[in-house]
Structure 1
Amino acid sequence: MTNSCVTLTDLPDEILLMICQKLTNFDVIYCLKGLHRRIDRIIHDSIFTSHLSFVKWTKNGFLDRLHCDIVHRRYCLQILPSIHDRIKWLDLEVSSMKQILCAAYYPSLNSLGLYNIDEESIRFLSTAQNLSSEVFETQITTLTVSLNENEQNEEIYESRARIFHSIFVVFKRLTTLIVDQSLYQKLVRLCLTDEPLLTHFRSSTLLQLTINVQCFDDCLSLLDGRFPSLHTLDVELANMYCSNEISNQGDLPNLKRLSISCTFET
């Protein structure tokens, strides 16, 4: 009996597809791209290219998958330029965000996940000359953000206000915004009533908002008409304080779902 060796290229498309679906899109593209023309055809399917996550979640935080220089260079110099027009969703960690966004032009990109972001990273999105502002201003409709809040101090409240305000300046067509702080044990919540920068910001396109705020006053501020198209609001607050002095900015004729939870903090 002679020995036989079966390689990936010997497998039918159906089996190759099943194998690829057991892996993350990040690993499929990195490990298999360029091995064979037929394999490239399979992994270039929208199943694997439409959503790429460069972020790995662990119990200690969100980590960058591009921590290795070899992986980083291959993605930025070879892979992303070759599939840039197929990508619709990117999850990025702040340490590699600039390089990935500058690696190619993404004409189909409509969703972003930005993890461990800070003021500097948001400022980069609004000022970088080698990035197309059209991508952010007109294409991005869904945004998930997780703020870098490992350091707790008084200035973090002002910093978070500036970040939140800048989000609506950079991303002008947002329909969904999720501020994901579920990872952190100590939350620095948004205080709309205490930060002048957040008093009058508005968005006429926002339909869905998920966020953590400090008190019931802040929740009422989100419902004061500044988001006239809003139909879904999920908000978690730390206390039920209410001054009953919220100034109404308009109506919410489209609001269909309101979910409020309270986690009392000491």
Structure 2
Amino acid sequence: MEGLPVELTDLPDEILLLILKKLDNTKVLYSFIGVNKLVHDSIFTNRLTVARCFSDDGPWPQSNNQILDQFCLQILPTIHHRIEWLNVEPSSLERILLCTNYPNLCGLGLYNLEKKIALHKTRLIHIFQNQISSLDIEFFRCKKSTLTENGNKDIFACILTVFSKLQYLHFVCCFFIDCLYLLDGRFDQLQRLSVDIDRILSPKIIIDNRKQLPNLKRFSLHCKWDTHKYNELIVPLLHRTSDLEELDLHLVVYSEKRFIDGYDLKYNIINHLLQ
């Protein structure tokens, strides 16, 4: 007897769960919401990337607005109480945040942000200011000819004002000065900071870079380009983080006078963290 065709939804929940866990959560919800209650599991609803346009391996192409419509009208209102983290883009941010309420939302990822849009949208997010404790920001990668050293100052001022309970922040931008803005002492409740930047240059404007950061426990700094500002900028910053428990540095340092080896790291950094 020839075998009968088997639908994916006919599989036992244990096997179906193993299959769905290997897929993107957004695609799972779009395909199975209303079909199988298994997709209401926290594995698929806790953290979502909901965007009209993302990278090539992202949820869907920009032209397919029908999918975004279904998320805003049906899917998100159905699972809103289960969502703890949302990754969104500026183009769909307002619609996604206002289509329902998110009582358990504590983390937010904002991608491809431009300054003008970010200032407007950040004010929109004030409705979650008492909920958001983790924030992931990726600024729009501007061309080299248009880079400005203080381009994100106003954005960080908004962040400081809106997200008063923020404990974790990860941001991707161009300049090291953005890191100094965030660590000028006003954001003293921050416990974890992860920074990915293009270049480390001496700031042309004066920033208060002396206050200690006793609450910062984990700090990660990754820089795309090499730098010769290790002694001038990196070491003084780390001297302010004497209570760090975890430190992750991914830097290419150019130094004419000496080789930065394990002894140098111990003398200039580790010993200060142990005080």
CA deviation string 1:219-259 (max 9, x = no partner):
xx797336431112222453316669x999x9655322334
Selected match of 2:194 from 210, 233, 243: 210
Matching residue of 1:138: 130
Q: Which residue of 2 aligns with 1:159?
A: 151
- Taking the TM superposition and a 5 Å limit, the aligned residue runs for 1:1-266 are 1=1, 4-35=4-35, 39=36, 41-54=37-50, 56-58=54-56, 65=60, 67=62, 68-128=64-124, 133-135=126-128, 137-153=129-145, 156-181=148-173, 188-191=174-177, 200=184, 202-211=186-195, 212=197, 214-215=200-201, 224-225=210-211, 227-236=213-222, 238-240=227-229, 252=241, 254-263=243-252
What is the match of residue 266 of structure 2? Answer: none
Q: SS of the residue aligned with 2:110?
A: strand
Partner SS for 2:148 = helix
- In the TM superposition, residue 160 of structure 1 has moved relative to its aligned partner by 1.9
SS at match of 1:157: coil
- The 3 A distance-change label for structure 1 pair 52 and 247 is closer
SS of 1:90's equivalent?
Answer: strand
1:191 aligned partner, one-letter code: I
Give the distance between the partners of 1:29 and 1:63, measured in 2 at CA.
14
Residue 6 to residue 64, structure 1, CA distance change in 2 (3 Å) = closer
Task: List runs of 5+ in structure 1 lacking aligned partners.
Answer: 182-187
User: Given the two structures, how large is their TM-score scaled by the length of structure 2?
Assistant: 0.73
Distance 2:203 2:245 in 1: 20
- Pick closer, same or farther for the CA change 1:5–1:123 going to 2, 3 Å: same
CA 1:143–1:95: 2 relative to 1, 3 Å: same
Identity rate, percent: 29
Q: How far, CA to CA, are the matches of 2:33 and 2:142 in structure 1?
A: 37
Paired residue secondary structure (1:158) = coil
CA offsets, 1:183-237, max 9 Å, x none? xxxxx213269x9x7795611210111223624789xx79733643111222245
SS at match of 2:170: strand
Counterpart-to-counterpart distance in 2, 1:15 and 1:64: 23
TM-score normalised over the length of structure 1: 0.75
Partner of 2:260: none
| Partner in structure 2 of residue 184 of structure 1 | none
- 205 and 65 in structure 1: CA distance in 2 versus 1, 3 angstrom threshold: farther
Aligned counterparts of 1:13 and 1:192: Cα–Cα separation in 2: 48
Note the aligned Cα RMSD (angstroms): 3.5
Cα shift at 1:117: 0.9
Aligned length: 242
Distance in 2, matches of 1:70 and 1:228, equals 48
Task: Supply the distance in 1 between the matched residues of 2:111 and 2:3 (Cα, whole angstroms).
Answer: 50
Instruction: Classify 1:232/1:160 alpha carbon distance in 2 versus 1 (closer, same or farther; 3 Å).
Output: same
Q: Distance in 2 between matches of 1:257 and 1:146?
A: 23
- Structure 2 unpaired stretches of 5+: 255-275
